[in-house]
Amino acid sequence: MLPSNKALPRLVILIFALVLLPVGVASQTATGQTTGALRVKTDTSSVQVLFDGKEAGQTPLTLRDLSTGQHNLALLKDGYEDHFEEVEISPAQTNSIFVVMKALQLKIPDLPVQFKAIHQHRLGTCVGVITVSAEALDYKAENDSDQFHIPIKSITSVARSWGSVAGLAPIGIGGPTDLLAFRIEAPGRSYGFMAFQDTINDPVKVASVKTRELYEVVYRLWSATLSSPEKNKKSP
């Protein structure tokens, strides 16, 4: 049955509107697409990218199939300040961001120095204080549940990571923040920490600054004990 003459104008208008509908919108409507992409570039290459706390690769980088809405982006590189930013992912679009990384100008505190920190265990964590001196690290949990002494010369590795724990996802302030943590290894044991300013409820940005400070202090003390070949082999 053919449409009546009165219905034809409405039919023509509807067809005309569908023809003019933007391709992206039509695709989104037809497929229900709710993902987007993010292109990340920096003025210096090979910057580590964390998207919502998870390692995503190095710049320049394009992340695809991201859920829409607000997300947390972190950019890390030795010698530069950590960069944090909230990004908005729009559906069916590639969002772009370009960041100029700032050179790190961290003043190393006088020794000995203390840091409040979360200490990672095989099951769970404890909270305590790390005292860093020129010769050693001393940790004591606030409830006396854990305590240890680590001579600087006995350390075999220093890195910005919790390290792998079988069966456990990276944990810390604000959730999975693996590369914002601090790990050292010594004969027979490894130690994972995240430092904080006031409480374990500090924002990730604040905790990251304190953890970076702890890392830099220990790394410089440790690297000073190494010969040149060892520094080239073991530096992160």
Domains in the chain, number: 2
pLDDT of 229 over the 70 cut = no
| 202 and 229 assigned to the same domain | yes
192/185 Cα distance (integer angstroms) = 9
| 85 and 124 assigned to the same domain | no
| 213 and 127 assigned to the same domain | yes
62/55 Cα distance (integer angstroms) = 13
Instruction: Tell me if 73 is assigned to some domain.
Output: yes
Instruction: Tell me if 17 is assigned to some domain.
Output: no
Enclosing domain of residue 229? 113-234
Mean pLDDT of 51-66: 90
Mean pLDDT of 95-124: 88
pLDDT value of position 227? 66
SS3 content of the chain, % helix, strand, coil (to 5): 25, 40, 40
- Neighbouring CB atoms inside 10 A of 124's CB total 9
pLDDT value of position 55? 83
Of all residues in the chain, what percent carry a pLDDT higher than 70?
A: 74
pLDDT value of position 218? 94
Mean pLDDT of 192-206: 87
| 93 and 118 assigned to the same domain | no
* CATH code assigned at 90: 2.60.40.10
| 76 and 135 assigned to the same domain | no
Q: Which of 25-29, 160-164, 222-226 has the lowest mean pLDDT?
A: 25-29
**How do 83-89 and 69-76 pair as beta strands?**
antiparallel
Instruction: Tell me if 136 is assigned to some domain.
Output: yes
Please, which residues have CB within 8 angstroms of residue 188's CB and are 6 or more apart in sequence?
none
Exposure string for 142-162, b = 16+ CB within 10 A, e = fewer:
eeeeeeeebebebbeebbbeb
Identify which of 97, 21, 11, 84 has the alpha carbon closest to the alpha carbon of residue 53. Answer: 84
